[in-house]
Amino acid sequence: MSGHSKWNKIKRKKDKTDGARAKVFTKIGREIAVAAKSNPDPNTNSKLADAIIALPSGCGTLEELLEIITWKQLGLYLKPIVILNINGFYDPLLERLQRAIDGHFMRAEHQAIWQVATTAQEAVELLYTTPLWSKDVRRFAAL
């Protein structure tokens, strides 16, 4: 995104709580933490995050994405989850999640847990437009 006027004022700094495993950028008074690798404490990324964007990646990212979807389903994580589905990378996962909903293994309401973007710009826009998940979700978390 170099050269894009929106990102010209980004400053790079290290976040003390995530050490060498994260890069933190400050833009208009907000911090966006980018986890470079899995953190030894998997809860740290979700505690620091204002939102989650799942980029196309390997098994670790897939595991963390499904874990945070489960946490949101249970009302343990309430912030936006965006799946960046570049070139249809996540199509099989999205089809599997839809099949779980169709088969009544997940409630239809849970489909609103995640948002899907096909471009980085759309993913960032979804961070700002997706409402927080209500704590009331706990009332329909159990089957």
Residue ranges of the domains in the chain?
Answer: 12-47, 51-143
Residue range 51-143 forms a domain whose CATH class is alpha beta
Q: Helix H segments across the chain?
A: 42-48, 59-73, 91-102, 120-129
* Tens-place pLDDT, residues 94-135: 999 999 999 999 889 889 999 999 999 999 999 999 988 887
- The structure's pTM equals 0.69
CA dihedral sign, ordered 36, 37, 39, 44 = positive
- Is it the case that residue 45 has pLDDT exceeding 80? no
